[in-house]
Structure 1
Amino acid sequence: MLHLKNIAKTVVPPIKNTIQNEGVNNMLRVVPTAINVCCRTYASHEIPDRLKDIPTSANPRFFDMVEYFFHRACQVVEDKLVEDMKSRVSIEERKKRVAGILKLMQPCDHILEIQFPLRRDSGDYEMILGYRAQHSSHRTPTKGG
């Protein structure tokens, strides 16, 4: 069986090697994602305007990145969630239920920041900084990364 994901993986690398234009390379990197988004049938999740420049921003805030990736994930999975919902209700009701569930998951309940020292092989010490955003803390383990 031939999938669009496989086509993109086999076609894009040879084209990238022959084209030196950075703009074209960036477009080719986004093509598989764009194919998924344009094939949606009834999902309607939109990324807020204030977050649309996050992928190209040089140094975005951590919280903005978390929000952007949440909205991007909603765009990718919303159709599948509606289709997989086992219910006898209409498509419109399933769409509303999925939208409600996604709205419940959206608020970020906690952002944890941790710092710890790391001793390198050379004997130098370096402070490592890590973050974790937690969603849906009403049920553990929490969603986040």
Structure 2
Amino acid sequence: MCLFASLLLHKQDKGFEDAKAVIESLKNKGVSAIGAAGFCWGAKVVVELAHINAGVLLHPSFVTVDDIKEVKAPLAVLGAEFDHLSPPALVKQFEEVLATKPEFDGFVKIFPGVAHGWTVRYKAEDEAEVKAAEEAHNDALEWFAKHVK
């Protein structure tokens, strides 16, 4: 089961508390494999969640190198070439940290020609934007298929 942690109507701390409650409820119902995807500030929620089997961060916001150092599950980070909140240089630092964690997989990909938010805010008539969003969505789904069993 995948939990989408971008709860746009709430503040980040509320999103984290809500996500923790959902995960606990799922575990109480016997669900043993849980993945979480965080879009924008939802990425910060995902890196703070414990007891998930895998996470995906899509155009993350407010995530720090120290946050990535604390991650204890397979993590994919999908960044944008043009992103003032998580520029490619920062995403590359995330990749360097994940490479020091041989106990689980890490995956980092920077999508060329797109800006922050491209996976959810794209122009449907722009073929390149749609293709990049679909590719990111497929990468996330493949990550979960591999790690959430």
Higher relative contact order (CA 8 A, sep 6+): 2
TM-score, normalising length from structure 2? 0.29
TM-score, normalising length from structure 1? 0.29
Q: Which has the larger radius of gyration?
A: 1
Structure with the largest fraction of helix: 1
